[in-house]
Amino acid sequence: MQQTEFLNVVLPFKDKLFRMAMRLLVSREEAEDATQEIILKLWEKKKAMVGYNNVEAYAMMMTKNFCLDRLKSKQAGNLKLVHSNYSDDSVSLQRQVEVRDSLGWIEKIMQELPEQQKIILQLRDVEQYEYDEISKLLEMSPTAVRVALSRARKTVREKLMEKENYGIG
């Protein structure tokens, strides 16, 4: 596999790798480093990649495993989940503050979710992966993916309702 062919295969999903890393790691810098590491590892395995049916799924699995290993390492003692990729300049300042506040609450709630539920929620609701793709990536049955996603969504919904109804009634 030549460099141009490699770039044509890998660059279309580079942003997905970054978003996955961003969801799992602390900061933009950590996510950028992780993305670069994964692309470097893919380059080193470029000869073997020719035989893969789905290079994107392979790269997403590498990213997930790399980030989880990073989180487990001793260097990662101060890492936490951060995700604030949303910004819209065409709405009012009040709406921007409300959206930022809601995203902040969702981030806090997601921090409390089990790791598997965080990943599944990210893959399905943010990255728009199909259930079958997620089940292959995480080596789970599609039913288990649906159950974990349902539980994650239910937890987020209940915690948001508690926040919204706090002090009322």
Q: What is the pLDDT of residue 91?
A: 57
| Domain match, 114 and 44 both | no
| Domain match, 70 and 137 both | no
Q: What is the pLDDT of residue 108?
A: 82
Say which residue the tokens 């995203």 belong to.
103
The phi and psi torsions of 132 (rounded to 5 degrees) equal -65, -40
Using DSSP's 3-state secondary structure scheme, residue 114 falls into coil
Please tell me the distance from the alpha carbon of residue 129 to that of residue 41, in angstroms, as a whole number: 23
Domain assignment present for residue 126? The answer is yes
Query: Per residue in 91-150, pLDDT tens?
Result: 577 777 777 877 787 788 888 889 899 889 888 887 888 999 999 989 999 999 999 999
Q: What is the pLDDT of residue 36?
A: 93
Domain termination site, one of 21, 46, 79: 79
List the CATH number of the domain containing 59. 1.10.1740.10
List the CATH number of the domain containing 134. 1.10.10.10
The DSSP-derived string for 37-84 is HHHHHHHHTHHHHTT-S-HHHHHHHHHHHHHHHHHHSGGGTT------
| Domain match, 104 and 130 both | yes
Written as six digits, the tokens of 142 are 């599609």
Q: What is the pLDDT of residue 76?
A: 43
Q: What is the pLDDT of residue 35?
A: 93
| Domain match, 72 and 105 both | no
Query: Per residue in 73-91, pLDDT tens?
Result: 745 454 444 444 444 455 5
Query: Per residue in 15-58, pLDDT tens?
Result: 999 988 888 886 788 889 999 999 999 899 888 887 888 888 88
Using pLDDT thresholds of 50, 70 and 90, give the confidence band for residue 1: low
Q: At 23, which helix (H) or strand (E)?
A: helix 14-24
| Domain match, 1 and 74 both | yes
| Domain match, 46 and 72 both | yes
**54 lies in which domain range?**
1-79
| Domain match, 61 and 103 both | no
* Total domains in the fold of the chain: 2
